[in-house]
Structure 1
């Protein structure tokens, strides 16, 4: 039996873990220019430092969710913590670009085991509608903050201690959580199920890697080669669906996609991954390469995005219970689109408070409220036996969106850049900021799948859970 106070302490521990994992996906964006200077990469190869993590993370999250369901969520959670700590050490001690990309892939695979088990524990610890809604709101807000706080934390760490320490700081957090987990977290699993869908995990991860590779290489490849890569990715996705249809223990039970809330919520989450990671990556390049400012100054400049996201996530959590996830998500997407539009006006002479401050603040406000709405929408209509796979799918949507977003907006910027002068670079970045609207359109389509609530969200959630 879990006491009321104990389960909220458990939520705090789990949210700390979720914050660390999502932060690790975003904090490296600030350090990319420093990493590229110190390590050897092929042309465009440095993109694989953030994208390699996101791909392995997103591609294996579904398998990680199923493993946590079958082997025990607390056990898998603690194992994931230890693996994440070890892979973080490997990243910090990487001696070459290839070694860092490989270590980041291992770190992403560790996160794929750790995060869905953490979110599954949240959902089993808070089984009733009102408290689950609040807990998921806090979880979504924490994850949203983690996704935007990387620039604020990463700048001082990179300039003051070196880029290696953005990985080393994970180790004490992992140790602390692993020590406290047995006392605060309950273990649970889905009874009577056996088997892991390794074929499904291999096909979907391969499809994602080929997709991102195609996007990254598109500016320097022929049209025929690019099309061939996209076709190959599509065929692998099709093979994944066939595997899931024939598997006795599918990685993703296709029946869960009958839920419009789950599909719509995950499209919204994909949209936030595309736009948030993509915009952050482009703005990092603009600030450090076109303007020549330091990582620590960039971190301070972009702090408003994280601050706006924190405030908006709190507000968004309350708004969802009053007006529904659909309205909050839709308005949030439009708000972030306005912020991205302001960023398209940046020049090499732009004053920070003239454009970037307002653009980042407005974008962050939409991001904070929107990620909460997307998280609640995609998980509110899920049965307990599917909590692991649903949480893995929701987290995978954000990470996969992030990997594709970085690759796509970088490709747009590269395709519209002629030369290496600050003016030429800025022109490419401005076009990339316009492309954020394409990312936002994915989320707007997801909003269309969410049903308009006829009664408050909290009672509806209670009805779902108790039925």
Structure 2
């Protein structure tokens, strides 16, 4: 190891007139932006992916889940890899892996190829994203420079979703759905080429990788999610459904056993011993399920039922990002006076109101009359929660564990979103099948011979019968999503207990959670 290696916490690039801090921050922020916007940019393309690669609506959720499950499951392992092997080299590897996966996804010719590429994208993101955040600490000196860098990183994390909505709409409408994946290739390659020129390598720290913990947790969650989605398609008594749930129980139990015995666990279980922090993770788990479901099902509804173009869909969702930012700003200003609990409770209740309103959507609904109002209320509630949850996740945590505490919040966000979406898809599948049983006889009695022949050949109902089926399933999914937010409110009321003397310590926060 070179004698010029920096000591922990020492700046590596901000000395002298030839400082490259600006370029270093641009590289780090660009990587975070690429990883964050990947979820929303792909969401806009979902109806086109479904049509091009013959996904069913229930199996389509894997396009989201394949990414978020591997991302969330390996996020802490990716951060550990940077500490042990050197953050710059691990960062570059994660970026290049993300680029390769994006290229393979864009070239996919069937659903299996796309899902494999999306899972590989998640692995790349799990390696690059936590390492990018850690590079700020070793690249910028402690004080105003580092604080500004963290501020830019947080702003990119918060704004990436909005950029993804617009970029996804433009790329799908003007080019093709494949470009929501291809666009990562030139960006990632530029980041990989620029990184060694503007960022120095960090010092390595001895340690070991908890591969067993990472594998059992990730595969266990995949089995659990697959069980729910399989149940939506083939019923709860299906043999493979039952095997999936059984495997999930065994693997997740093994994961807990491994983590309890490991000297350097990937998931420090003792963090759940604190009542406030455990409650915070539970709230994030529930709210992530709601927000992932809201984006997934509303994207299908506005494009398939309201006939919105991809670009119009992206614009329709922009108020979500804007109002979340407004809510987060309000919470940041008022938290020192009122504490986080009122914002967690109020935010969760507002989210429940918005989702409950969305359950009223039908094929005669309009964006302005039935969609905009609910998503504004929902978004304000989420903005209240994001700041409060971040602060509570890192409160009363020793400095050397603050990264793990905030990382766990990001893990619960990704895993909660995947698990929640699979449960919502199960509800959607049940409700839409029931509605299809009602609509098919009506269609057959009113259809012409040619329409009947086409239905027998494809098994697909035409509009407006298909719209009725989809809308019924979406409304049912929103009922369960609203229940998730009610659960979050109940957990906030029961579990979160912050004394007035704690408020001063919480004033320094304000960043929302990462991707």
Fold-level match, TM-score > 0.5?
A: yes
Checking the alignment, whether the CA contact within 8 Å between 1:116 and 1:388 is kept in structure 2 is no
SS at match of 2:307: coil
Checking the alignment, whether the CA contact within 8 Å between 2:428 and 2:473 is kept in structure 1 is yes
Structure 2 CA distance, aligned partners of 1:393 and 1:127?
26
2:350 aligns with: 335
Structure 1 residue 16: Cα displacement: 4.1
Q: Which piece of structure 1 moves more, 316-325 or 235-244? A: 316-325
1:379 aligns with: 394
2:249 aligns with: 234
2:448 aligns with: none
Checking the alignment, whether the CA contact within 8 Å between 1:144 and 1:367 is kept in structure 2 is no
**1:286 and 2:286 equivalent?**
no
**1:389 and 2:389 equivalent?**
no
Q: Which piece of structure 1 moves more, 4-13 or 140-149? A: 4-13
1:46 aligns with: 60
The change in CA–CA distance for 1:452 and 1:25 in structure 2 (over 3 A counts) is same
2:495 aligns with: 449
The change in CA–CA distance for 1:275 and 1:11 in structure 2 (over 3 A counts) is farther
The change in CA–CA distance for 1:207 and 1:137 in structure 2 (over 3 A counts) is farther
Structure 2 CA distance, aligned partners of 1:106 and 1:78?
15
**CA-atom RMSD, angstroms?**
3.2
CA deviation digits over 1:103-154, x for unaligned, max 9? 1111011111112222334567799899999977765554344345533331
User: Which of 461, 464, 485 does residue 440 from structure 1 map onto?
Assistant: 485
CA deviation digits over 1:80-123, x for unaligned, max 9? 12221222122112222211111111101111111222233456
The within-5 A match list for 1:2-151 is 2=11, 14-41=28-55, 44-122=58-136, 142-147=156-161, 149-151=163-165
Structure 1 residue 12: Cα displacement: 6.4
2:476 aligns with: 431
CA deviation digits over 1:401-429, x for unaligned, max 9? 22122222222122112225212321221
CA deviation digits over 1:29-64, x for unaligned, max 9? 211111121124467433211111111111111221
SS at match of 2:500: coil
Checking the alignment, whether the CA contact within 8 Å between 2:50 and 2:56 is kept in structure 1 is no
Q: TM-score, normalised by structure 1?
A: 0.87
SS at match of 2:207: coil
Checking the alignment, whether the CA contact within 8 Å between 1:130 and 1:461 is kept in structure 2 is no
User: Which of 207, 226, 232 does residue 213 from structure 1 map onto?
Assistant: 226
CA deviation digits over 1:160-203, x for unaligned, max 9? 11111111222343344445545765755674x32111111111
The change in CA–CA distance for 1:42 and 1:219 in structure 2 (over 3 A counts) is closer
Structure 2 CA distance, aligned partners of 1:382 and 1:134?
23
Higher relative contact order (CA 8 A, sep 6+): 1
Structure 2 CA distance, aligned partners of 1:138 and 1:336?
27
Q: Which piece of structure 1 moves more, 260-269 or 360-369? A: 260-269
Structure 1 residue 13: Cα displacement: 5.2
Checking the alignment, whether the CA contact within 8 Å between 2:328 and 2:383 is kept in structure 1 is yes
User: Which of 181, 190, 204 does residue 217 from structure 2 map onto?
Assistant: 204
Checking the alignment, whether the CA contact within 8 Å between 1:90 and 1:103 is kept in structure 2 is yes
Structure 2 CA distance, aligned partners of 1:176 and 1:379?
34
Checking the alignment, whether the CA contact within 8 Å between 2:353 and 2:482 is kept in structure 1 is no
Q: Which of structures 1 and 2 has the bigger CA Rg?
A: 2
Segments of 5+ residues of structure 2 without an aligned counterpart are 1-9, 437-460, 510-515
Structure 1 CA distance, aligned partners of 2:344 and 2:111?
38
Structure 2 CA distance, aligned partners of 1:365 and 1:7?
35
SS at match of 1:112: helix
Structure 2 CA distance, aligned partners of 1:315 and 1:133?
20
The change in CA–CA distance for 1:411 and 1:107 in structure 2 (over 3 A counts) is same
Checking the alignment, whether the CA contact within 8 Å between 1:128 and 1:462 is kept in structure 2 is no
1:351 aligns with: 366
Structure 2 CA distance, aligned partners of 1:32 and 1:329?
31
Structure 1 residue 222: Cα displacement: 3.7
CA deviation digits over 1:203-254, x for unaligned, max 9? 1011100111011111233434445533431221111011112223322232
Checking the alignment, whether the CA contact within 8 Å between 1:117 and 1:388 is kept in structure 2 is no
2:271 aligns with: 256
The change in CA–CA distance for 1:357 and 1:15 in structure 2 (over 3 A counts) is same
Q: TM-score, normalised by structure 2?
A: 0.80
1:194 aligns with: 207
Segments of 5+ residues of structure 1 without an aligned counterpart are none
The change in CA–CA distance for 1:317 and 1:81 in structure 2 (over 3 A counts) is farther
Checking the alignment, whether the CA contact within 8 Å between 2:58 and 2:426 is kept in structure 1 is no
Checking the alignment, whether the CA contact within 8 Å between 2:349 and 2:486 is kept in structure 1 is no
